[in-house]
Structure 1
Amino acid sequence: MHAIEAQQLTLTYGENSIYENLDIAIPKGKITVFIGSNGCGKSTLLRSLARLLKPTNGSILLDGQAIAKLPTKEIAKRLSILPQGPVAPEGLTVLQLVKQGRYPYQSWLQQWSAEDEEMVSKALKATNMQQYADRTVDSLSGGQRQRAWIAMTLAQGTETILLDEPTTYLDMSHQVEVLDLLFELNVSQQRSIVMVLHDINLACRYAHHIVAIHDKKIAIQGTPEDIITEDTIRTVFNMDCQIIQDPLFGTPLCIPFGKGRKVNEQEQASSNLANAAMVV
């Protein structure tokens, strides 16, 4: 069974068609990353999978069930979404933010419980945010703030987590910090994680499954090793590049040529020599 499936999905914005008759299946227990050029609809597709956008036609299945027919609180217990650049109210502490993840479990009959307390504690520990619990969210660094929001989604206790560009506005070290955290959550807890990322090389490094979006459709999808090729990058991003093997992780590594600077023969020879050395 897949974590999420879209069947014959049609999405429109006003009179503009975004996707028509799109089929996609998100592997369960894996990390899936959406890539594509700006404005191609990656975030729109992610939001539709979380039922935040109503499709014009088609259906979305969550664990094999039609998401349109599920109660909102039931969905929130099985799927969580972290939008791009979330903003917390001024003065809200990390602990208060993380507690918001337990909202789907609250009702007039069921108030805050020992289980809620345990889930919040586990989420803070998993994200290494215990020492910041009493700090206000707006006083944290970018990486810490993102980990606080991820802790909130973990406290929600869902098997599937959707994240829209979780590394946006973060420097390189904090990008790796956040992605390492998500990778560890996938390994240790078998969470199904779906992300939108702009960095192709980070997508290749952390994803089990990549979905490349182009021209209102799925251009290609599969493992990074199978689909990230020079032809794919040229088709999806209209960019020439060279694909080599990441010397540390063995995943595809995209080296863009750029349009303003050409590679001369000496640089190309050095590149070929380096590639040969890595293969050896």
Structure 2
Amino acid sequence: MHTLEAKNLCLSYGATSIFKDLNVAIPKGKITVLIGSNGCGKSTLLRSLARLMNPQKGSIVLDGQELAKLPTKEIAKRLSILPQGPTAPEGLTVLQLVKQGRYPYQSWLQQWSEEDERMVRLSLKATGMEEFTERTVDALSGGQRQRAWIAMTLAQGTETILLDEPTTYLDVTHQIEVLDLLYELNEKENRSIVMVLHDINLACRYAHHMVAVKEGHIWAEGAPEEIVNADMIRAVFDMDSQVLPDPFYGTPMCIPFGKGRTLTSAKQPEVVEQPILQQV
């Protein structure tokens, strides 16, 4: 079953074509990660899936309905997107930010409700941000700030969440913190999560489904262990590498060969067998 589908999608910026007759299906209730080199169209594809870009041809289908035919507020109740590097007005508190996620449910006839309050509380709890409600967003650390934005996204109550490079500018500790949070949301609440990631090894570790994009078309898609190999890395990233099992999770782990340093030995690295741990 699919939650989002792009059918015969054609996208362009002015005279520059980005995608032509692209077809891709996002599995429901899974974590899907878009990978590819800079400028290949990953973020453009993500934005088009959220109807932030209008295609010149083709359609985006959400749970069997064309996005183009749905009212904006209806889409916002079913699909949310967190863009790369979002910014909040100076002085905005975490609580005020998270409350913005309930905007699609507000109208002249329906003001702030108990359900709105409940969703805000649940979102703060799920992201571990309850103790930061009165702190301003600009006073948070990078990982805390990203969790606050994710809390706002969760407050929308959508089954499908799109995130554009949610780990950008975060150190490795906060990257894992954010990705673990998204993994937990998928496991416990069956949210369909689609995100763009640059780190191929983290993408393999957290994704159920991967979509490799190259020069405006889908080069490969499927489970990480099915599509990630040295040939795919070379084709998509123009980089030589060796792909080995991650010693802890068993997922593909890419070891790149740098072009600026000559290998001193052709000996294959020894792979130490270790028990595969289940992801928490």
Tell me the amino acid that sits aligned with residue 191 of structure 1.
Answer: R
Whether 2:112 is the aligned partner of 1:117: answer: no
Query: Which residue does 1:211 correspond to in 2?
Result: 211
- For residues 221-268 of structure 1, what are the alpha-carbon distances to aligned partners after superposition, in whole Å with 9 as ceiling and x for unaligned? 000000000000000000000000100100000000010112221xx5
Q: Is the Cα contact below 8 Å between 2:120 and 2:155 reproduced in 1?
A: yes
Tell me the amino acid that sits aligned with residue 87 of structure 1.
Answer: T
Divergent runs of 4+, >3 A: none
Query: Which residue does 2:187 correspond to in 1?
Result: 187
SS of structure 1 residue aligned to 2:6: strand
- 1:279 and 1:80 map into 2 onto residues whose CA distance is 39
SS of structure 1 residue aligned to 2:218: strand
1:87-236 to structure 2, matched below 5 A, reads 87-236=87-236
Query: Which residue does 1:21 correspond to in 2?
Result: 21
**Superposition CA RMSD, Å:** 1.0
Q: Sequence identity, in percent?
A: 71
- For residues 71-125 of structure 1, what are the alpha-carbon distances to aligned partners after superposition, in whole Å with 9 as ceiling and x for unaligned? 0000000000000000000000000000000000000000000000000000000
Q: Is the Cα contact below 8 Å between 2:247 and 2:274 reproduced in 1?
A: no
SS of structure 1 residue aligned to 2:236: helix
Query: Which residue does 1:31 correspond to in 2?
Result: 31
* Residue-pair matches, total: 275
- 1:263 and 1:64 map into 2 onto residues whose CA distance is 52
Give the alignment partner of residue 273 of structure 2, picking from 264, 274, 278. Answer: 278
Tell me the amino acid that sits aligned with residue 156 of structure 1.
Answer: Q
Q: Is the Cα contact below 8 Å between 2:41 and 2:215 reproduced in 1?
A: no
Tell me the amino acid that sits aligned with residue 71 of structure 2.
Answer: P
Query: Which residue does 1:43 correspond to in 2?
Result: 43
Task: Give 1:279 shift.
Answer: 7.5
- 2:202 and 2:263 map into 1 onto residues whose CA distance is 24
TM-score by length of 1: 0.97
Task: Give 1:54 shift.
Answer: 0.2
Query: Which residue does 1:65 correspond to in 2?
Result: 65
Q: Is the Cα contact below 8 Å between 2:248 and 2:274 reproduced in 1?
A: no
Query: Which residue does 1:79 correspond to in 2?
Result: 79
Tell me the amino acid that sits aligned with residue 122 of structure 1.
Answer: L
- 1:110 and 1:23 map into 2 onto residues whose CA distance is 39
TM-score by length of 2: 0.97
Task: Give 1:272 shift.
Answer: 2.9
Tell me the amino acid that sits aligned with residue 55 of structure 2.
Answer: P
SS of structure 2 residue aligned to 1:272: coil
SS of structure 2 residue aligned to 1:278: coil
The structure with more helix, counted as a fraction of residues: 1
